[in-house]
Structure 1
Amino acid sequence: MEIGYARVSTSEQNTDAQVEAFRRAGIEHIVEERRSAIKERPELAKLLKRLKKGDVLVVYKLDRLARSVSHFVRVFEDLQRRGIGFRSLTQSIETDTPHGRMFVHMLSAFAEFEREMILERSAAGIAAAKARGVKFGRKRSLTPVKEAHLVRLYGTGYYTMDALAHHFGVHTSSVKRAIYRVTKPGHSSLE
């Protein structure tokens, strides 16, 4: 069964054109994502779960389905693994043809290249920032003096981490990290 997926965009706040194109193509079953969302696409998530082997997911254009090339590749690989086809109405992508599969594999290679370039640039940027003395992470909740006082109080055995968190007005995890910095340097919770 062919199932169309239509999603609004910021410039076109209805799916009328996409739905009409699906109907002209003979696609009866259409799922519409009626709100523009970058991360949350509940209708797409439900549709992807219910698709079964032999179904074909049809979109008007690739950008209606995926946020990026890498996101498209992840969705496509999941569909392919489950025996579900994919087709774009306005682009020559049909995964049941050799040309369509080749195109998707090319997209996959570009997505991998894109991920590697992002990682490389990120690593270089972090290294340069560290060389300039930039500190990463959130600012500590407690001053060094207050942390030392907190650790001394904890060391007496009369205070729990929760009681100290309440007393100092911070989250328990801040208390735990302050104590671990002294009692367990190198602990994974300090990374």
Structure 2
Amino acid sequence: MAKAPNFSPPPPQQRLIGYARVSTGDQFKDTQVDELRAAGCHRIQQEHGASASSARPVLAKLIKELTAGDVLVVVRLDRLARSVSHLLDVIENLEERGVHFRSLRDPIDTSTPQGMFSLQVLGAVVQLERAVIVERTKSGMKAAKARGKLAGNPGLRERRPEAIRTVSLARERAYLNELIASAQTWLPTVRQLRPQHSWDNVVLILNRQGHDWTVERLRRAVHRMAREKLVEPELLARSPRRPPEHRLMRIVAGIAIADPELSLRDIAAQLDQMHERPPRGGRKWQPSSIRALLDEARRFGLMRS
């Protein structure tokens, strides 16, 4: 009797998920989305922001949503990471979750042996670069010591006021530039919620979007922007001790505006975590209560229909 042929099931089709980061000045001429669609990406997430910004909340949220077997696709490596070391960290995170990575214009595809080899070469280059920097630093310090000189800024070492002031101003400028570059990823949420809601609640919502704020850091950032007259000083006003009228409606609207993809149950879970009590009593929020507050927010013009 002839042996029945052994048919193996076809491998599961990979989900190609595209990620595009569009700089503010290039958003009208950028072709990343078209290239990702042509490559077969059925879902594409876009991040809008200045290239100097290190904040990538859309990417952080997307990585958390990817599952084993998915492939994260970008047009170029610089669209994903701000440095080679950052790129390797992101890919290592993806690999630990069973997610592959592919760059359309670079020879990087972690689902193929050739792509993994290219990635290993990149890693070796980073290690070599770090070793060279360390060796140069040690050689420079040794040579300076042989000439009777101490490493570092002599003005700072001697605590000269002008040197300390120069370094302090440089740090302040760098800090402000970083805030301005990343503002569009967090400032709209702050404007939506402050000062009606506490800094703790604002930080909780921002971190749900993929940020890593603390209350102290966020207050300092808003203070700095207000000092430069880049934001309204009213954002720094003290939150009311007693809940204002329609307080819950504003909280729900703020959460929904910050992340439009959240379901009614997701919003209810956030309110439970914030220890907000439902308007009609009870311990847990229900989707029907969320829907009613969202409808009310639309009637008051806080949200678009």
TM-score normalized by the length of structure 1: 0.63
- Structure 2 distance, partners of 1:139, 1:8, is 44
Q: Does 1:107 align with 2:122?
A: yes
Query: Which string of whole-angstrom CA distances, capped at 9 and with x for unpartnered residues, describes residues 88-117 of structure 1?
Result: 122232211111111111111111111222
Q: Deviations over 1:112-131 (max 9, x none)?
A: 11122222233344555566
Of the three residues 93, 114, 133, the one matched with 2:150 is 133
2:85 aligns with one of 70, 76, 81: 70
Q: CA RMSD in A?
A: 2.6
In 2, Cα distance between the equivalents of 1:66 and 1:7? 10
1:121 to 133, 136, 140: 136
Task: Summarize the Cα distance change of 1:14–1:104 in structure 2 as closer, same or farther, 3 Å threshold.
Answer: farther
Higher relative contact order (CA 8 A, sep 6+): 1
| 1:43 aligned onto 2:58 | yes
Residues 62/122 of structure 1: CA separation in 2 closer, same or farther (3 Å cut): same
Deviation of 1:10 (Å) = 6.9
Give the corresponding residue for 1:3: 17
Matches of 2:91 and 2:37, distance apart in 1: 23
CA contact (8 A) 1:14 1:34 kept: no
The 2-side partners of 1:121 and 1:10 are apart by 37
2:101 aligned with 1:83, yes or no?
Answer: no
Aligned to 1:23: 37
Which ranges of structure 2 fall in alignment gaps of 5 or more residues? 1-14, 162-305
What SS class does the counterpart of residue 26 from structure 2 fall into? Answer: coil
Aligned length: 141
TM-score for the superposition, normalised by structure 2: 0.41
1:32–1:43 CA contact under 8 A, matched in 2? yes
Q: CA deviation at 1:135?
A: 5.2
**Residues 13-65 of structure 1: per-residue CA shift (max 9 Å, x gap):** 45740001111122121111100243222211222222221111100011111
Matched-pair identity in %: 48
Matches within 5 A, 1:153-168: none
Structure 1 residues 15 and 87: alpha-carbon distance in aligned structure 2, compared to 1, 3 A threshold: farther
Quick one: distance in 1 between partners of 2:30 and 2:67?
26
Q: Distance in 1 between matches of 2:35 and 2:72?
A: 14
Compared with structure 1, are the counterparts of its residues 11 and 102 closer, same or farther at alpha carbon in structure 2 (3 Å cutoff)?
farther
User: Shift of residue 138 of structure 1?
Assistant: 9.5
In structure 1, stretches of 5+ residues that fail to align are 142-191
CA–CA distance in structure 2, aligned partners of residues 5 and 82 of structure 1: 17
Partner of 1:72: helix, strand, or coil?
helix
Asked whether the 8 Å contact 1:15–1:32 carries over to 2, the reply is no
The whole-number CA distance in structure 1 between the counterparts of 2:40 and 2:108 is: 17
